[in-house]
Amino acid sequence: MEEKYRILEDLLYFVPKPILTLAKKHMLFDLILDGQIQDSASLYEHVPEWMLAFQDADYSELAMSMLPILQPGTVVEIGCGQGDLMRRLASLGVKPVYGIDRSLGMVKAARKKLDEFKEVEVFHSRVEDFNFSPLGSLANVIMNNFWGLLPTNASFELLCRLKEHMEPNGKIAIGDCREKIKSDYVVEAERRAAEEMNFIISYPLFMDFEKCGYHSECVSLAGGEFIVLTLPRSTEG
Ligand SMILES: C[S@@+](CC[C@H](N)C(=O)[O-])C[C@H]1O[C@@H](n2cnc3c(N)ncnc32)[C@H](O)[C@@H]1O
């Protein structure tokens, strides 16, 4: 058991030590070892609100650098977590801003942080089950630190489904899409977690955007690499 805990600790090298200790104490590791959690997206569902304080990210630079590429109109962040990027965008006057997240802990934390803003709302849902229609047509969809949490099929289906809801000149920004450089021990931990525990920390990044009918462009934003997807211009008329 100790050996498997060590593999999970290696795998989650980016999580601060005190949080890992809490996660172990609150049996999150055991849920993985029991097969109840099979990927990191499901892991977030089990993270309670009080455990999230460490993830208070400062996205002010990212929000500023996004402003010039955003279209006027609705912004939706998929996998919005605690709403840190939404908060920065809303502070810059962007509205309406909607967030979707499958983790109730994240959603509760986000709602608290965003309480002061009008025309900002956070929905608790898996994006696979989310009905975008009530939001009207979407000018911008953002996925920040989200790509890789859905398996290939689900990534493909999401992009195809979004196409039906995008404004003709709408944009989807996905980042950070840089290949992560990992130490050998992390690569080994990922292999063993997949083979011995059936746990996937990250799926291969789905990058075949043309297959879904989008044009894609790589854009550098606040030191990260984002892919911006747009719909081909209609040749009719
Ligand atoms: C790494 S966090 C990123 C949070 C935020 N975007 C940020 O950059 O700070 C990924 C988030 O995606 C959410 N998530 C994972 N899979 C999801 C799904 N299928 N539908 C909706 N949210 C999901 C998780 O609950 C988590 O809050």
C-alpha 102 to ligand 1 mean position (Å): 7
Task: Look at residue 98 and give its three-state secondary structure.
Answer: strand
C-alpha 39 to ligand 1 mean position (Å): 12
Contacts of 3 (CB under 8 A, 6+ apart): none
Model's pTM, two decimal places?
0.95
Q: pLDDT (tens digit, 0 to 9) for every residue of the chain, 237 residues total? A: 789 999 999 999 988 888 888 888 888 999 999 999 999 999 999 888 877 765 678 999 999 999 999 999 999 999 999 999 999 999 999 999 999 999 999 999 999 999 999 999 999 999 999 999 999 999 999 999 999 999 999 999 999 999 999 999 999 999 999 888 899 999 999 999 999 999 999 999 999 999 999 999 999 999 999 999 999 987 654
Check if the beta carbon of residue 210 is closer than 8 Å to that of residue 151. Answer: no
Q: How many CB atoms lie within 10 A of CB 4?
A: 17
Check if the beta carbon of residue 110 is closer than 8 Å to that of residue 99. Answer: yes
Q: Is the C-beta atom of 58 inside 6 A of ligand 1? A: no
Q: How many CB atoms lie within 10 A of CB 153?
A: 10
Residue (of 167, 177, 175, 174) closest to 231 by Cα position? 167
Whole-number Å distance between alpha carbons of 85 and 57: 8
Which of 43, 101, 123 for mutating ligand 1's site (highest number of atoms within 8 Å of CB)?
Answer: 101
Query: Which secondary-structure segment (H or E) carries 153?
Result: helix 152-163
Which of 62, 102, 129, 142 for mutating ligand 1's site (highest number of atoms within 8 Å of CB)?
Answer: 102
C-alpha 48 to ligand 1 mean position (Å): 14
Check if the beta carbon of residue 120 is closer than 8 Å to that of residue 147. Answer: no
Residue (of 180, 132, 136) closest to 157 by Cα position? 132
| CATH class, range 55-182+202-230 | alpha beta
Please state the domain extents for the chain: 2-54, 55-182+202-230
Whole-number Å distance between alpha carbons of 207 and 226: 12
C-alpha 34 to ligand 1 mean position (Å): 23
Contacts of 211 (CB under 8 A, 6+ apart): 156
